Structure 1
Amino acid sequence: MQQKAFSILKISDWILKLAYLNALFIAFSFLGCLIGGFFPATTAMLTVIRKWLMGDTEIPVFSTFWVSYKKDFLRSNLLGYILTFIGFTIFMYYLLLNQTVSEVAVWLRYPLVIITIIYIAFLLYVFPVFVHYEMKIPQILKTTFLIMSVSPLSTIMLIAAGIILYFTMSNFPGLIPLFGGSLIGFIVMWSSYLAFSQLKQKEEKTVVLD
């Protein structure tokens, strides 16, 4: 009975933590008028989740969030707008191909679909890489591609979890303002953290073999 009550309290504690983190994510996104606040709020949220996953579950959430938000404000926005520009370019190519009636345009759609899938997978990893490693932006981009290449299972798990979460939120839209951002962030960071751990293990085995 006591164990059951403890489990219920623990689940309730995590629900409150995720709801509070989601509220911070929304508030600080709007603090920067979305244009300047969304990306640093995303990296701040992932920073908190990363610490939770590493076992530091009793961190002061607000101060950890705020420190990360301030520290990475410019860098996260720079990275975010680079990715936004790439996504906008892909979207414009889609519009161009849809307006072009030719056999070449039909064939060009296939590589564009592949590029889009790679871009989406890249987006899922790039901000977790940002908060996990102390790197400059060019190194972050290279490391993200590397992790995508060596961790296909984590990528599949991440996409599958994202699909499940999408249908859950679609059926229960009331959950979106409470847990939308933090739940997505938790799944993305958890899957990415598994990939980081796998990469570290492979590097350690290589060092031992050498």
Structure 2
Amino acid sequence: MGNMIFKIADLIYRFVALNLIWLLFFLMGLGILGFMPATVALFSVIRKWLMGEQDLRLFKMFFHYYKAEFVRSNILWGIFLIIFYVIYVNFSFVSFYYAEHIHIYLYVVIFSFAAIVLMTFVNIFSVMAHFEFKTLQYIKVAAGMVFLRPLNTLMQLIWLAAYYILALTSTTLFVAIGISVFAFVLMSINYRTFIKYTDPEGE
């Protein structure tokens, strides 16, 4: 019983510590430049946990990944920001430049594309944490996972929706969970897939 309580307390400590470290490095990058490398570093540390490496110096490990991925992750961040902006512009212009009877069809196309881009963006963190590719190849692999692993995509969508609802309905619980638990669930969903396709003995 005492051992279980210790493990639970240790797990809570790890998640809280990761939340604080992520926030620190997010702010160090002035928000806009800190978000992507801090989040990739977060997923990378969580990947180490999933691999069974529990005795990590969190700050040192986090800082290592933050530095290593700062430039590359921000290049990808810039690409996604441009894509999301283009989606927003197209959505805004539909009612001004197209006949009303085709609005619904255009909105379906735009929302479908936006959903694919969003899930690709969600996958990019797990992919960057696990693989070493050329910068643009991360987008290709992350997008491929959206279509090749539909069950994973569905589970991620459910978790995103639950997390969003939690943010709207229970601020206290949302803050307590933080981004570390959010990332842990997403990384856990993709990790088995990575192992299956990279480990000959993976099942």
Q: Would the TM-score normalized by the shorter structure come out above 0.5?
A: yes
Amino acid at match of 1:161: W
Deviations 1:35-80 (A, max 9, x none): 2111111111111111011110111100000011111111111111
Taking structure 2 as the reference length, the TM-score comes to 0.90
Change in Cα spacing, 1:96 to 1:186, as seen in structure 2 (3 Å) is same
* Distance of 1:153 and 1:39 partners within structure 2: 26
Amino acid at match of 2:195: S
Deviations 1:139-197 (A, max 9, x none): 11121122222211111111112222333333321244443211211111111212223
Taking structure 1 as the reference length, the TM-score comes to 0.87
Change in Cα spacing, 1:19 to 1:99, as seen in structure 2 (3 Å) is farther
Task: Show the counterpart of 1:208.
Answer: none
Identify unmatched segments of 5+ residues in structure 1.
Answer: 206-210
Deviations 1:6-56 (A, max 9, x none): 222211111111111011111111111112111111111111111011110
Identity of aligned residues (%): 28
Task: Show the counterpart of 2:109.
Answer: 111
Amino acid at match of 1:125: N
Q: Is the 8 A contact 1:147 1:199 kept in 2?
A: no
Counterpart selection for 1:97 from 90, 94, 97:
94
**How many residue pairs are counted as aligned between the two chains?**
200
Pairing 1:182–2:176 present: no
SS of residue in 1 equivalent to 2:19? helix
Counterpart selection for 2:61 from 61, 64, 79:
64
Change in Cα spacing, 1:13 to 1:170, as seen in structure 2 (3 Å) is farther
Counterpart selection for 1:165 from 163, 166, 170:
163
* Distance of 1:137 and 1:16 partners within structure 2: 33
Which runs of at least 4 in structure 1 moved beyond 6 Å after TM superposition? none
Identify unmatched segments of 5+ residues in structure 2.
Answer: none
SS of residue in 1 equivalent to 2:87? helix
Task: Show the counterpart of 2:137.
Answer: 139
SS of residue in 2 equivalent to 1:72? helix
Cα root mean square deviation, aligned: 1.8
